[in-house]
Amino acid sequence: MKAVAVIPKTVNSVHLVEMDKPKVSDVPNGRGVLVEVLRVGACGTDREINNGEYGVAPAGFDFLVLGHENLGRVAEIGENVKELKVGDYVVASVRRPGKSFYDEIGEQDFTTDDQYFERGISQLHGYMAEFYAESADYLVKIPEKIVEIAVLLEPLSIIEKGLKQASDIQERLKIWRPKTAAVLGTGSVGLLTVMALRMRGYEVHGFGRDKHDGYLNAELCEAIGATYDSTAEITVPDSVKKYGEYDLIFECTGYSPIVFDAMQSLNQNGVLILSSVTGGDRKVDAVPADKINQQFVLGNKVMFGTVNANREHFEMGVKDLALCEAMYSGWLARMLTHKVEGLENFEKAFEILNNASSYKAIKAYFEVSKI
């Protein structure tokens, strides 16, 4: 079968490989599921891996099959798989257990291992292939009604984990009734965050670099009842004069200096969630450290980082996708701006990924096989 791979730590090494089709029996204890891949999303992490900045090949290989945003159809099941049947639609999670205590109890998204196992990213082949085999434990069933947009579930799972942690942390307050939220960054992850917060009833304010007019992402924010402002016109701290301080801020820009702006825009008892994996070495001067520190102390504020997601977060995501389809039918499909047919057209997919703003791309994805 065909797969799209890179040589990790080598710039622009993306290429097609021919591999053996996996088998249900590759997975122990009769828990194997053979999945026919239907769609695979391409994201910033894939771009970074192809830029040689990130990614580790599995032991015994010099290449890594890419792809972690996925949707597939069950083709075959092992004898101990009761929860899925042939023909079901599934999305697989990304991280697999390593050695730490958290991994042992099935919470590998909180691993303390330095080297983690992530399909398509680190030490495990990913889903940019015609088939993959996986344990049923890591597959989440997708209702047929949301199959068309379910390739968005994996990136959404990251947001769901962030929001779940925020509400867990805020249990420190006997009552927390957040009303307003700011979402920094309105790319695909930012838009999914705007959506997830709107599904929870927040007043949501999205911020991006692009000017408002003619910007599809701004239109999508507004179509779902959020606002959009360009940070070229108003800084996040200045926006507080317009919208008030935010009870929750979700950072997903990939631009770390904005974190210090966000820290100054948080309401009393507020929570700031960081989700950008910033691999560079940017530094910032003139951060008003005393002021920020004092605001955090006197306002009982919280900031935390979040990465990856576990089964429960994928399941929360399924519900938000379904609710969004019910409330704003067709909105999620508008995020799927660029379909690339066939894995052999990987060059096109990476061309779009590397030039997302000139393509006006929100989400580029492979259609590996028809739904």
Nearer Cβ to ligand BGC, position 227 or 275? 275
Nearer Cβ to ligand BGC, position 227 or 310? 310
Q: Tell me the residue length of the chain.
A: 371
Q: Any bridge partners for residue 302, and if so which?
A: 271
Nearer Cβ to ligand BGC, position 6 or 77? 6
Q: Is 43 in the site for ligand BGC (CB under 6 A)?
A: yes
Q: Is 118 in the site for ligand BGC (CB under 6 A)?
A: yes
Q: Is 39 in the site for ligand BGC (CB under 6 A)?
A: no
CB of 278 to ligand BGC, least distance (A): 12
Nearer Cβ to ligand BGC, position 81 or 183? 183
Q: Is 121 in the site for ligand BGC (CB under 6 A)?
A: yes
Of 269, 268, 265, 264, whose CA–CA distance to 291 is shortest?
264
CB of 42 to ligand BGC, least distance (A): 11
**Host H or E run for residue 234:** none
Q: Which of 7, 66, 68, 190 binds ligand BGC (CB under 6 A)?
A: 68
Side-chain half-sphere exposure of 262, counting CA atoms within 13 A: 29
Nearer Cβ to ligand BGC, position 67 or 78? 67
Q: Is 159 in the site for ligand BGC (CB under 6 A)?
A: no
Q: Is 129 in the site for ligand BGC (CB under 6 A)?
A: no
Distance CA(269)–CA(272), nearest Å, equals 10
Nearer Cβ to ligand BGC, position 158 or 191? 158
Distance CA(73)–CA(36), nearest Å, equals 5
Distances (CA, A) of 234 to 26, 82, 240: 54, 54, 10
Where do runs of H (alpha helix) occur along the chain?
A: 44-50, 101-104, 153-169, 188-199, 216-223, 236-243, 258-263, 289-298, 311-327, 346-354, 356-359
Distance CA(190)–CA(152), nearest Å, equals 12
Using an 8 Å Cβ cutoff, are 249 and 263 in contact? no
Q: Is 307 in the site for ligand BGC (CB under 6 A)?
A: yes
Q: Is 267 in the site for ligand BGC (CB under 6 A)?
A: no
Across the chain, the runs of DSSP E, i.e. the strands, are 2-6, 15-18, 32-42, 64-65, 69-77, 89-92, 95-96, 117-119, 123-124, 131-135, 139-142, 180-184, 203-208, 227-230, 246-251, 266-274, 302-305, 338-341, 364-367
Q: Which of 277, 284, 327, 371 binds ligand BGC (CB under 6 A)?
A: 277
Q: Is 158 in the site for ligand BGC (CB under 6 A)?
A: yes
Q: Is 205 in the site for ligand BGC (CB under 6 A)?
A: no
Q: Is 45 in the site for ligand BGC (CB under 6 A)?
A: yes
Q: Is 66 in the site for ligand BGC (CB under 6 A)?
A: no
Number of residues that bind ligand BGC (CB under 6 A): 12
Nearer Cβ to ligand BGC, position 56 or 234? 56
Q: Is 94 in the site for ligand BGC (CB under 6 A)?
A: yes
Distance CA(247)–CA(271), nearest Å, equals 6
Nearer Cβ to ligand BGC, position 92 or 136? 92
Point out which residues bind ligand BGC (CB under 6 A). Answer: 43, 45, 68, 94-95, 118, 121, 154, 158, 277, 307-308
